[in-house]
Amino acid sequence: MEKLVIEGGIPLSGKVRIHGAKNAALPILAASMMAEGVHRIENVPDLLDIHVMLRILRALGCKAELKGDTVSLETASAYSSHIPEELMRQMRSSIFLMGPLLARFGHVQVYQPGGCAIGERKIDLHLKGLRALGAEIEETGNTIVCRAECLVGTDIALDYPSVGATENIMMAAVLAEGVTTIYNAAREPEIQDLQHFLNEMGANVTGAGTDVITIEGVKRLTPVAYRIIPDRIVTGTLMIAAAATKGNVVLENVCPAHLTSVIHVLRRAGVQIAVNDDIIKVSCSSRPKAVERIITSPHPSFPTDLQAQMMAFLSLADGMSIIKETVFEGRFKHVDELTRMGADIRVDQNCAFLRGVPHLYGTTVEATDLRAGAALVIAGLAARGTTIVEQAHHIDRGYDRIERIFGWLGAKIERYSPIRQMKVP
C-alpha cells in the first residue's frame, strides 16, 4: 500500500481552490438514475469513492465517464437494479442507490454494507423509511431485496437525523404518489445540494437545511447539467492544517456558511480567520489556545468529519481541551497514532481529554480511516522531523491527491509506492 512521507515544521502559505464535495456528489450521482437521458455533473472530485460509484452505475448499464471534474452520465441504458456485492463492499455509500433504483425499477437488490473503522454504520432507518413508503423488504443473510409496485407518500419521523437515510427517503419519495414529509431530517449542506439537484430535474422538494423536508411526488424527471458544491470537510481540513503549521493560507471556491461551527472553534483557539463571498483566509502566528469543549453532532454543530483533524491541531494547544464524539462510536482510532507522535490524550468512552504539548515528533504512523489519515497528515506537517503515514489509500477516498494539495501550499510531502519503492509523481 502507498505511503506519504512528510517533512514537518514548514508553515503552509499560498492559495488553493477547493474541489467539489464527495458527500454531495455521491447521492447526486445516485439520484441521476431517476431521470433517463444524459446528465452532465460538474465539480466532481477525482476520488476513489467517486470511481467506485461510477463503476456501480456502469454495472447497472449506464454509460459513465469522469473527464477532469465533469461526469457525463447516460442513464437511459440502465437495465439492472442489482448492485454487485463486491462493489458494495468497497463503498458503503452505495446504499444511497436504494431509493433511486426502487423509484425507477420498483425493485432493488443490495447487500448489508457492514460496519467500517469508525462504527457499526447501521441502515435500519433507511429500511424503515422505505417500508413506510410501501416497499416490501426481505433480508436474507446479508442480501436485501426491496420491491414496490408503487411508492406512496407518507409522514416519516426519523429516530435520528441520519444523512444517508434522509437522502435515500428524499430520493424514493420524489417519484412516489402523493406527499412525503420527513421529520427530524438531517440538515447537512449536502442535503440542500441534493434538493437543488432533484428540483432541477423537475422534482418538488422543499425544506432541505431544516429538520422538516417535504417532497411532493411527480410523474417523471428529466436529466440536467449541474455543478456540485465545494467540499466543506476538505476546506475545514486545510483551515486546520494552516493553523497547525502557523501558516498563512487563502482558500478559494468555498462556502463559509457551511463552516460556521469550525470557524468559531478555530477563532476560540486564537486563529485569525477572514471570510468573504467564496474565500476564507486563515493565519496563525502563535501557539493555539486550548478549547474547553468540542462536541460533534449533526449539522450545524461541529462536524464529526473534522473531529480527528481538530484533535491533531489541539494536541499542540496551550492547556486542556475536551472532544466529545457523539455521532460514531469508533471514531477515536487516530488517538493511538497521535500519541505515538508525542500527543498527550486520554480517552474515556466517547470523550478525549487533550493536554496540549509544545511539539509533536515525526515517526511512522498508520491511517486507519479517511479522516484519521487526514489528521495524521496535519500532525506530520506540524511535527518536528519526518512522518510516514502508511495505508494512504484511505485518505484518497476523500482528498484528491492530498500531497498535491498541500504541495501547492509549500509543504514537503511525497507519496511512495512500496511495490516500486519509488516516489509516485
What distance in Å separates the CA atoms of residue 35 and residue 185, rounded to the nearest whole number?
A: 24
What beta strand segments (E) does 112-190 contain? 136-140, 143-147, 155-157, 179-183
Pick left, alpha or beta for residue 220 (phi over 0 → left; psi -120 to 50 → alpha; otherwise beta). beta
Instruction: Give me Rg for the CA atoms of the chain.
Output: 21
By CB under 6 A, residue 125 contacts ligand EPZ = yes
**Per-residue DSSP letters for 376-398?**
HHHHHHHSBSEEEEE-THHHHTT
Binding to ligand EPZ in span 25-54, by CB under 6 A: 26
Size of the site for ligand EPZ (CB under 6 A): 24
Stretch binding ligand EPZ (CB under 6 A), from 70-78, 124-132, 215-223, 404-412: 124-132
By CB under 6 A, residue 119 contacts ligand EPZ = yes
What distance in Å separates the CA atoms of residue 299 and residue 416, rounded to the nearest whole number?
A: 36
By CB under 6 A, residue 381 contacts ligand EPZ = no
Cell of 273: 480567520
Specify the residue, 250 or 327, whose C-beta has the smaller distance to ligand EPZ.
327
Stretch binding ligand EPZ (CB under 6 A), from 116-124, 270-278, 315-323, 416-424: 116-124
Q: Read off the DSSP letter of residue 11.
A: P
Stretch binding ligand EPZ (CB under 6 A), from 52-60, 117-125, 242-250, 314-322: 117-125
By CB under 6 A, residue 187 contacts ligand EPZ = no
Q: Read off the DSSP letter of residue 419.
A: T
Residue number of the CB atom closest to ligand EPZ: 164
By CB under 6 A, residue 122 contacts ligand EPZ = yes
- Binder to ligand EPZ among 18, 123, 205, 381 (CB under 6 A)? 123
- The verdict on whether 284 is a catalytic residue reads no
Specify the residue, 97 or 381, whose C-beta has the smaller distance to ligand EPZ.
97
What distance in Å separates the CA atoms of residue 97 and residue 235, rounded to the nearest whole number?
A: 27
Binding to ligand EPZ in span 398-417, by CB under 6 A: 398
Specify the residue, 369 or 390, whose C-beta has the smaller distance to ligand EPZ.
369
Cell of 55: 463503476
Specify the residue, 289 or 324, whose C-beta has the smaller distance to ligand EPZ.
324
Find the distance separating the first CA and the last CA of the chain, reported in whole Å: 16
By CB under 6 A, residue 126 contacts ligand EPZ = yes
Angle at Cα 399 formed by Cα 373 and Cα 241, nearest 5°?
65
Q: Which residues contact 208 (CB under 8 A, 6 or more apart)?
A: 170, 185, 187, 191, 192, 194, 195, 196
Which residue, 259, 333, 345, is CA-closest to 302? 259
Shortest Cβ distance from residue 327 to ligand EPZ (Å)?
Answer: 5
By CB under 6 A, residue 162 contacts ligand EPZ = yes
Query: Of 62, 116, 150, 255, which one is the catalytic site residue?
Result: 116
By CB under 6 A, residue 121 contacts ligand EPZ = yes
Stretch binding ligand EPZ (CB under 6 A), from 162-170, 205-213, 314-322, 348-356: 162-170
Sites of contact with ligand EPZ (CB under 6 A)? 23, 26, 93, 119-126, 160, 162-165, 186, 304-305, 327-328, 370-371, 398
- Catalytic residue numbers? 116
